[in-house]
Structure 1
Amino acid sequence: MNTIAALKQGNLLVFNEVYYAWHKRVYYFILQKTRSSFIAEEVTQLTFIKCWNYRENLTEDLNIQLQLFRIARTTLIDFLRKETIYKEKVIHVIDKYTLPVDDLWGKLAEKELQVKLANALKEMPPMRRKVFEMSRFKGMSYQQIAHELSLSSRTVETHIFQAIKQIKHYLGFIISLLAWLCRF
């Protein structure tokens, strides 16, 4: 009696022989495709379960090896498809019901930085503050600022350099703290 005919009749001894003869090969076939021992174990077990459950559908014209690997391949495709759908649903639910942490930290950090920047600007000498605001907030070039305030371009450049240095000094701790928080 051939193997497939015996399987179709529900012969458990033949099924055990097929299982022990092909289990490792099916496992390594799946492992090679996925590089995941967990998926390889799951899909291998599902392959043999399907082989047994649908044994009446096995074709006697094809050898058991070909049919097992066909079952393994389709089982792997189904498994990966279900995993992908599951992950997408989980991500959708998480996105829907949680606050975006990056946005929350970003908004808090932005607000904190605005307050600290305003305080740093208040402590600057009036001309330095005015030059910095014209450059950074109004987007004016050094030449435009120099022309409007009757200063040399070099003086404007010095004011900007000193303003940035003062802001860095004033915000140093905050920037370090934010950089640390952004890691999480």
Structure 2
Amino acid sequence: MNTIAALKQGNLLVFNEVYYSWHKRIYYFILQKTKSSFIAEEVAQLTFIKCWNYRESLADDLDVERQLFRIARTTLIDYLRKETVYKEKVIHVIERYTLPTDDFWGKLAEKELQHKLADALEEMPPMRRKVFEMSRFKGMSHQQIAHELSLSSRTVETHIFQAIKQIKHYLGLFLWLLAWIFRF
């Protein structure tokens, strides 16, 4: 029985074999394109999830390798598009609610935002806070932080991702309130 036919029939043993045979290659393919181990791992996992979920639509006349790399490429494109849209939305919100610096209320809101950010940083576990501060306040690259703290680049990326998530959660209500106050 060929691999594609076995996958279409839902054969988990064949899927595991495909996964273990191709995961590293897919990972390094994405890593080469993005230079981010975090994105490479995410896209590699999504590639195999999609391969399994849409196994019935795999082409019988193409080999598994070609189809996996096609899925990986389109998954990467989708992932990067979503990231770009998210970043554009964040920039738009920041620009929309940035107030002139000579405005009393704007200065007050900026000062309060700085206090809230400091509070959010205080709530973080020490290593997450240290990694975030080294990245955002000292401008260090993930590799530099990893080297200085004897961590893997993946761990550094995870700490930064979790820190941003925690800050967004912590500041969410405050930013919503600011948006409501300054919507006019």
What residue number does 1:78 align with? 78
Rounded to whole Å, the distance in 2 between the matches of 1:98 and 1:14 is 55
Once the two structures are superposed, the pairs formed by residues 55-134 of structure 1 within 5 Å of their partners are: 55-99=55-99
Closer/same/farther in 2, CA of residues 99 and 56 from structure 1, 3 Å limit: same
Which gives a bigger RCO, structure 1 or 2 (Cα 8 Å, sep 6+)? 2
Deviation, structure 1 residue 99: 2.4
* Aligned residues between the structures: 104
Identity of aligned residues (%): 83
Closer/same/farther in 2, CA of residues 59 and 100 from structure 1, 3 Å limit: farther
> TM-score normalised to the size of structure 1?
0.54
Q: Once superposed, which parts of structure 1, at least 4 consecutive aligned residues long, lie more than 6 Å away?
A: none
Rounded to whole Å, the distance in 2 between the matches of 1:99 and 1:17 is 57
What residue number does 2:27 align with? 27
Q: Which structure's CA Rg is the greater one?
A: 1
Rounded to whole Å, the distance in 2 between the matches of 1:19 and 1:98 is 47
Once the two structures are superposed, the pairs formed by residues 2-41 of structure 1 within 5 Å of their partners are: 2-41=2-41
CA deviation vs aligned residue, 1:63-120 (integer Å, no higher than 9, x gap): 000000000000000000110001000111111123266x77xxx9xxxxxxxxxxxx
What residue number does 2:49 align with? 49
Rounded to whole Å, the distance in 2 between the matches of 1:19 and 1:9 is 16
Structure 1 counterpart SS, 2:62: coil
> TM-score normalised to the size of structure 2?
0.54
**CA-atom RMSD, angstroms?**
1.6
